[in-house]
Amino acid sequence: MTNTKKTIAIVNGTGRQAASLIRAVTAVGYGVRAQVYSTEGLVAEELAELPNVTLFEGSLLDNPVLVDTIFEGAQIAFINTNPLAGDEIKIGKALANAAKKRNIQHFIYSSMPDHSIHNPKWPSVPLWAPKFTVENYIRQLGLPATFVYAGIYTNNFTSLPYPLFCTEFLEDGSVEWRAPFHPDIKLPWLDVEHDFGPAVLQIIKDGPGKWGKGQRIALAFENLTPIQVCESFSKALDLPCDYVYDEQIEVAVSIPNGYRQQLSALEILFGHYNAPYFPGSDFQYIGRRKGSNDTVTSRNSQDSSCGKPGKLTDTARALWPGWRSIAEYFATAFVAEEEANGKTWMM
C-alpha cells in the first residue's frame, strides 16, 4: 500500500453507495474527505476508523463553507445527492460549482433518468429526475465527468411490510413478491453494499482519460425479470416464491413525505407503460443468441434499430468481475438482514 494516492471528496458518506465506495478506496490507500449528516451511528463510526478518512458533519443545503471544504485538497469527487437532504438540484449544482472552482480532475456523479424526455406519456419520477437535471448542469460546466446509474438495490428486499420490494411470507409457507413491474421485462439489479464501491474504484483507477468524457454507466450486474428474481430466491432459499403483478403498490407503513408520489410515478411508468428502467440509447443493447446469428434486442430497450452490441451489464461486470449474484445475495446477506430484523423463518 502507498500513501501517495489521491484524495476523493464524497458526500452523503453514510449512504449505502458512498459507504461502499469509502470502504473500497481506503483499502487501497486513497484518502477520503466525506460529508455526513451525522457522525453518530454504526456506519459513521465505522468510516471514521478507516485510514485517511476525514468526516465533515453538516447539511449541504445553503452551506457553502462545508461544500467548499470537502473539495479542499481533493483531486477526485464522488457525488450522490439525497432527496432527504432538501432541494437536490440546488445542492447538486452547488457541489458541481465548488468542484469546478477546486479544479477536480474527475467528477463521478450518481445520476438517474428523467423518463419524460424520452416519451411525452412517461412521467418524470420525482426522486430521480432532479439527478438528471444536475447531470445536465455538470455537463454544461464542462467538468471531466462520469455518470453512474445505480440499478435497483437487491438490498431493498425485505419481509418487513415496506412498499415495492416486500417478500411476504404467507401462511402456507410460500413467499410472494407483489409489484407493478411486468413479469417478463428485465430490470437491472445491484448489490449496492457489495458491488458499488469496487466498481466505482475501478472507474477511479482507470481515470478521466478513459471515463471522464461524460459517459453513462449502468451499475447493474444482472438484468433479470421479476419472475427470474423469484426463481433465484426459490433456488437460494429452497422456498417457493411467486411474483404477482399488481398495478397498485400497497403502502402499509408510514413513508417519508413525497414517497407516495414516487410510487405513483413508478406504477404508471412500469405498471402501465412497461417503460425501460434505464431509457435512452446509452442503455440500449442488442445481444446475440447463443449458437445463432440472429440478433435479439434487450427487453430494456425500446427500439432495436439503435442498440449497441452486448448487454446492459457488460461494463459493470468488466469493471468489477467479483460481483455477487442476486441468488447469492438472498442466500447470505438477505438471511442476515432478516435475522437482524428479528425474523425467524430461517430457523
- Alpha-carbon span 92 to 51, nearest angstrom: 27
Please identify, using beta-carbon distances, which residue of 14 and 302 lies nearer to ligand NAD.
14
Contact 36, 13 (CB under 8 A): yes
Q: Is 342 left (phi over 0), alpha (psi -120 to 50) or beta?
A: left
Please identify, using beta-carbon distances, which residue of 256 and 309 lies nearer to ligand NAD.
256
- Which residues, 6 or more positions from 268, have their beta carbon under 8 angstroms from its beta carbon? 122, 123
Q: In the bound complex, what is the minimum distance in angstroms from residue 312's beta carbon to ligand NAD?
A: 15
Which residues, in sequence order, are bridge partners of residue 190? 153
Q: In the bound complex, what is the minimum distance in angstroms from residue 220's beta carbon to ligand NAD?
A: 10
- Alpha-carbon span 110 to 315, nearest angstrom: 16
Which residue is nearest to ligand NAD, using beta carbons?
15
- Cell numbers 428502467 label which residue? 277
Q: In the bound complex, what is the minimum distance in angstroms from residue 53's beta carbon to ligand NAD?
A: 15
- Which residues, 6 or more positions from 65, have their beta carbon under 8 angstroms from its beta carbon? none
CA dihedral over 207, 209, 213, 219, signed as positive or negative: negative
- Residues, the chain: 347
Contacting residues toward ligand NAD, per CB under 6 A: 12, 14-18, 37, 80, 82-85, 112, 127, 150, 152-153, 156
Task: Read off φ and ψ for residue 286, nearest 5 degrees.
Answer: -115, 110
Please identify, using beta-carbon distances, which residue of 59 and 103 lies nearer to ligand NAD.
59
Q: In the bound complex, what is the minimum distance in angstroms from residue 80's beta carbon to ligand NAD?
A: 5
Task: Read off φ and ψ for residue 157, nearest 5 degrees.
Answer: -65, 135
Please identify, using beta-carbon distances, which residue of 130 and 212 lies nearer to ligand NAD.
130
Please identify, using beta-carbon distances, which residue of 163 and 171 lies nearer to ligand NAD.
163
Please identify, using beta-carbon distances, which residue of 23 and 306 lies nearer to ligand NAD.
23
Q: In the bound complex, what is the minimum distance in angstroms from residue 262's beta carbon to ligand NAD?
A: 9
Q: In the bound complex, what is the minimum distance in angstroms from residue 127's beta carbon to ligand NAD?
A: 5
Q: In the bound complex, what is the minimum distance in angstroms from residue 78's beta carbon to ligand NAD?
A: 11
Measured CA to CA in angstroms, residue 207 lies from 11, 78, 109, 125 at distances of 20, 13, 14, 31
Please identify, using beta-carbon distances, which residue of 185 and 286 lies nearer to ligand NAD.
185
- Cell numbers 477520503 label which residue? 32
